[in-house]
Structure 1
Amino acid sequence: MQYDLLSETVSIRTVSENEKEGVFEIEGLYTGYGATVGNALRRVLLSSLPGAAITQVKLKGASHEFTAVPGVIEDMVEIMLNLKRIRFRLNTNEPQVLSIRKKGEGEVLASDIDVNPSVEVITPDHHIATVTEKGAEFDMEITVEQGLGYVPAEVRRSEKLPIGVIALDAIFSPVIKVHTHVENMRVGDRTDYDRLRITVETSGSISPSQALHQSTKILQDHFIKLSEVEVKEAKPSVKSSSSKKEKDSDESLAPKKKSTKSKK
């Protein structure tokens, strides 16, 4: 029976794509490789692509995350939750400190963030807070950084932040959702090859096709590196060897039991 793990008919095509969602099909995969390739791509897409997020915030009048902010409907916890959902595109690896300053009543949106040429707000209409008093002043500083995956606030709290600065859980991944589906297809005389359909949803800071390409490149680089590594035979550790000697020594020193014969 003939088989070909990497068929010449392997191809990828775009079924549909817009700024935030794309559907792609990889065809001609050997039996079982649809799930293998799909699972690998899904894990890399969700955890290994760089993105930008707010990592810490400082709001005038709020000393900690459980503070009620004067003249604002939302408390600090709600404001922090709103900040986590803002999406950015960062064109530098350096942390960027940005400000939001608004006087008088009204809604505070992500578009009110005073950005610089290195930062772009992908979700400008996202709600942050609501100021209810005419004389109130909303004065906030946020830090936007590049990172991978998800970093909890506890990690940043251990860095001894200045008084008044509150750490946020940071969701850096630009990919929001990935779905894979595998079905059979015909290759030559065989009908048990795999077709992998993969749906990628992003925040808009990166296109779905770019996300898929970067994930493929990350996997490729890892496998190329592994293929160049010489596999060496594992040698027994010194500890295990010495512990065996000690065991043998203990057994030789242990008193031997005398065998007794029963008398008839």
Structure 2
Amino acid sequence: MIETGFQKPKYLECDYESLTETYGRFSAQPFERGYGVTVGNALRRVLLSSIPGAAVTNVRIQGVLHEFSSLPGVVEDVTDIILNIKSIPLKMEGQKPMRMYLKKSGPGEAKAADIEHDSDITILDHDIHIASLDKDGQLDIEMVVRKNRGYVTADRNHDPELSIDFVPLDSSHSPVIKVNYLVSQARVGKRMDYEKLELEIWTNGAITPTEALGQAAKLLRDHLIIFLNIVDEPIRKEAVQEKKEIPYFSQIDILSKPIDHLELSVRSNNC
């Protein structure tokens, strides 16, 4: 007997023993053959590219006009300092740009824990190394934090409202660090040709894996819902107007009209 009904996932399982704020393992079954890969790949791409997050987009370092400079008394050059700043995982409430500040004198190590920020910003890893300073070293850094999604180039982060000594940075806003999916066989009754989808999600702590998966599924749904509104009607062709014969004298009147009366565009008049 030929079965025409589609098997669809009946439940979503979560491995609560391994679930943390930054890692989660989920599974769903059964899928028709091929649908596990289709759904798994779509979710993975959305998770990695489209979940919004916060990142440093512009930075001003006192005494530095470009990122290829160096600072006296600081071991790292400006390029390394900027790379360390970009690696700081952040969580931000609201949508408006915000500022963070780092002022440090040597000798010693400047870490993410030394950064001053508003209560709407959370630094998720205070141990991130920023720079090493000797006894004469000083750091005075101002950072702009914005919320966005995916990878944003420095050109797009350029803000003409900021002073010229602010350097725009490439920024990665995705709070999802890594996603793996695995498709294996699933059994329904006596049939073994169905599929089970397993997802592993790692985040930086700005969002939980459960929240990230829910947001990704909602984004996919919102993009597909428009296709549900297709009306099952044949495509309507534009009505073809019947050609009407124009009387001879009317043709003469039309052809004899002055150009000024034809309401042509300026470009046509100049031809």
- TM-score class, shorter-chain normalisation, is 0.7 to 0.9
Distance 2:7 2:228 in 1: 17
1:196 aligns with 2:232: no
Q: Distance in 2 between matches of 1:47 and 1:139?
A: 33
CA distance in 1, matches of 2:160, 2:4: 56
Q: How does 1:108-123 map to 2 (within 5 A)?
A: 108-123=110-125
Letter in 2 for 1:146: K
Aligned pair 1:12/2:22, yes or no?
no
- Counterpart position of 2:221: 220
* Structure-1 residue corresponding to 2:267: none
Aligned partners of 1:52 and 1:147 also within 8 Å: yes
SS at match of 1:56: strand
Alignment of 1:96-111 (within 5 A): 96-111=98-113
Q: Normalising by structure 2, what TM-score?
A: 0.81
3-state SS in 2 of match to 1:17: coil
Structure 1 84/32 Cα, relative in aligned 2: closer, same or farther at 3 Å? same
Partner of 1:256: none
Percent of aligned pairs with the same residue? 38
Q: Deviations over 1:146-180 (max 9, x none)?
A: 00100011323485852211111100000011111
Question: How far apart, in 1, do the equivalents of 2:237 and 2:151 lie?
Answer: 38
Q: For 2:199, give the aligned amino acid.
A: I
Indicate the SS of the match to 2:117.
Answer: coil
Question: Where do 5+ consecutive residues of structure 2 fail to align?
Answer: 239-271
Cα separation, 2, equivalents of 1:87 and 1:12: 29
Residue of 83, 86, 92 corresponding to 1:90 = 92
With the length of structure 1 as denominator, give the TM-score of the two structures. 0.83
Q: CA deviation at 1:235?
A: 7.5
The alignment of Structure 1 onto Structure 2 pairs a total of residues equal to: 234
Question: Which ranges of 4 or more aligned residues in structure 1 deviate by more than 6 Å?
Answer: none
Q: Which residue of 1 aligns with 2:253?
A: none
CA contact (8 A) 1:10 1:29 kept: no
**Which of 61, 64, 67 is matched with 1:62 structurally?**
64
> Residues of 1 paired with 2:218 and 2:59: CA distance?
34
* Match of residue 180 from structure 1: 181
Q: Which residue pairs with 1:35 in the alignment?
A: 37
Assess if the C-alpha contact under 8 Å between 2:74 and 2:138 holds in 1.
Answer: no
Distance 1:11 1:4 in 2: 18
Query: CA, structure 1 residues 229+55, in 2 after alignment: closer, same or farther (shift >3 Å)?
Result: farther
Change (3 A) 1:43 1:105: same
Report the counterpart of residue 156 of structure 2 in structure 1: 155
Deviation at 1:136, TM superposition (A): 3.2
Letter of the 1:204 partner, please give it: G
Please report how far the alpha carbon of residue 13 of structure 1 lies from its aligned counterpart in structure 2 after TM superposition. Answer: 0.5
Q: In the alignment, what sits opposite 2:131?
A: 129
CA–CA distance in structure 2, aligned partners of residues 71 and 224 of structure 1: 58
Give the match's secondary structure for 1:209: helix
